[in-house]
Structure 1
Amino acid sequence: MAVFAVLMLLMFFGSVLSSDESITVACSTNDIDCLSKSTEKFLEKTHKGIPAWNIVTLDPLVISSYDFALDEEGLIYKYKNLTVTGLRNQQISDFKMDTKARSVVLTTKADLDVVTDVDVILTKPSKTLSGHYKIHASVLGTATYQYELKTDEKGVTHFHVGPETITCKVVDAPRVELSHEFQQTLSNDADAKTYNEEKRAELRKKTFCKIAEKVYTYVVHNIREAAKAVPSSAFFTNIE
Structure 2
Amino acid sequence: MITLNIFLVLVIYQCALSDGSKLNLSTEPCDVSDIECISKATQVFLDNTYQGIPEYNIKKLDPITIPSLEKSIEKINLNVRYNNLKVTGFKNQKISHFTLVRDTKAVNFKTKVNFTAEGKLVIELPKSSKTYTGEVTIEASAEGGAAYSYSVKTDDKGVEHYEAGPETISCEIFGEPTLSVSSTLEDALKLDSDFKKIFTEYGKQLTEGRKQTACRIVETVYAVSVHNIRAAARILPKSAYFKNV
Q: TM-score range by the shorter chain?
A: 0.7 to 0.9
Shift, 1:125, TM fit = 6.1
Match of residue 107, structure 2, among 104, 107, 116: 104
Task: Say yes or no: does 1:223 pair with 2:229.
Answer: yes
Does the aligned pair in 2 maintain the 1:24–1:42 contact within 8 Å? Answer: no
Structure 1 stretches of at least 4 aligned residues deviating more than 6 Å after TM superposition: 71-74
Q: Runs of 5+ in structure 2 lacking a partner?
A: 1-15
Which among 203, 210, 218 is matched to residue 209 of structure 2? 203
- Contact residue 23 and residue 45 of structure 1 kept, 8 A: no
Identify the structure with bigger relative contact order (alpha carbons < 8 Å, sequence gap 6+).
2
- The aligned residue for residue 89 of structure 1 is 92
Structure 2 residue 176 is the aligned partner of structure 1 residue 170 = no
What is residue 70 of structure 2 aligned with on the other side? 67
The worse-fitting range, judged by mean Cα deviation, of 21-30 and 45-54 is 21-30
Structure 1 residues 230 and 136: CA distance shift in structure 2, 3 A:
same
Letter in 2 for 1:173: E
Where do residues 20-169 of structure 1 align in structure 2 (5 Å cutoff)?
22=25, 26-69=29-72, 75-122=78-125, 127-169=130-172
Q: Distance in 1 between matches of 2:115 and 2:80?
A: 19
Alignment coverage as a number of residue pairs:
225
- The more displaced of 162-171 and 199-208 is 199-208
Shift of 1:179: 0.7
Deviations 1:172-224 (A, max 9, x none): 22122211122123222333212245444332212211222122211222222
Partner deviation per Cα, 1:79-127 (whole Å, 9 max, x = no partner)? 2211000110111111122222222111111110100112234566665
Relative distance call for 1:125 and 1:170 in structure 2 (3 A) is: farther
Q: Secondary structure at the match of 1:172?
A: strand
191, 208, 229: which one aligns with 1:188: 191
CA distance in 2, matches of 1:101, 1:164: 15
Tell me which moved more, 132-141 or 175-184: 175-184
Q: Do the aligned partners of residues 53 and 176 (structure 1) sit closer, same or farther apart at CA in structure 2, a change above 3 Å counting?
A: same
Which moved further from structure 2: 23-32 or 211-220?
Answer: 23-32
SS state of the match for residue 146, structure 1? strand
Query: Percent of aligned pairs with the same residue?
Result: 40
2:237 corresponds to 1:234: no
Work out the CA distance in 1 between the residues paired with 2:211 and 2:127: 22
Structure 1 CA distance for aligned equivalents of residues 75 and 166 of structure 2 = 27
Whole-Å separation in 2 of the counterparts to 1:154 and 1:105: 30
Give distance in 2, aligned partners of 1:207 and 1:158.
36
User: How far apart in 1 are the matches of 2:64 and 2:27?
Assistant: 21
Q: Secondary structure at the match of 1:49?
A: coil
Query: Structure 2-normalised TM-score?
Result: 0.79
When normalised by structure 1's length, the TM-score is 0.81
The Cα of 1:70 is off from its aligned counterpart by 5.8
CA RMSD, Structure 1 to Structure 2 (Å): 2.7
- Residue in structure 2 matched with residue 213 of structure 1 by the alignment: 219
Secondary structure class of the residue paired with 2:219: helix
d(CA) in 2 for partners of 1:131, 1:95: 40
User: Per-residue deviation at 1:128?
Assistant: 3.9
Which deviates the most, 168-177 or 227-236? 227-236
Does structure 2 retain, via aligned residues, the 8 Å contact 1:82–1:114? yes
